């Protein structure tokens, strides 16, 4: 008897502004010292992501949305094989 893998449902569509919540009490997402270039667009920002790298929230969400779209495309492509 072979084991069958259960397929997960594809991720829901991305709605801008809903992926990241930087208001929480967790990591501080604001650096008061000095702005640094965003890791995605290169513009100066005081914001820091969860790995403390400089990143605009909008840029980080766009990167996550792109990764999610690529994962969804790979999921659908794998399902057609």
Q: Both tokens of residue 21? A: 């919540």
pLDDT (0 to 100) of residue 79: 62
pLDDT (0 to 100) of residue 31: 87
Q: Both tokens of residue 13? A: 């569509």
Q: Which residues of 33-55 are buried (b: 16+ CB within 10 A; e: fewer)?
A: eeeeebbbeeeebebbbeeeebb
Residues 9-60 pLDDT 10s: 655 665 666 667 777 666 678 888 899 999 999 999 999 988 889 999 899 9
pLDDT (0 to 100) of residue 44: 97
pLDDT (0 to 100) of residue 6: 62
pLDDT (0 to 100) of residue 73: 86
pLDDT (0 to 100) of residue 25: 61
């Amino acid at each position: 008897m072979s084991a069958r893998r259960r397929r997960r449902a594809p991720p829901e569509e991305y709605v801008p502004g809903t992926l990241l919540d930087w208001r929480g009490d967790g990591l501080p997402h604001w650096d008061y010292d000095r702005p640094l270039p965003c890791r995605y667009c290169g513009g100066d920002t005081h914001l820091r992501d969860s790995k403390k790298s400089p990143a605009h929230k909008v840029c980080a969400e766009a990167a996550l949305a792109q990764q999610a779209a690529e994962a969804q495309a790979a999921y659908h492509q794998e399902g057609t094989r």
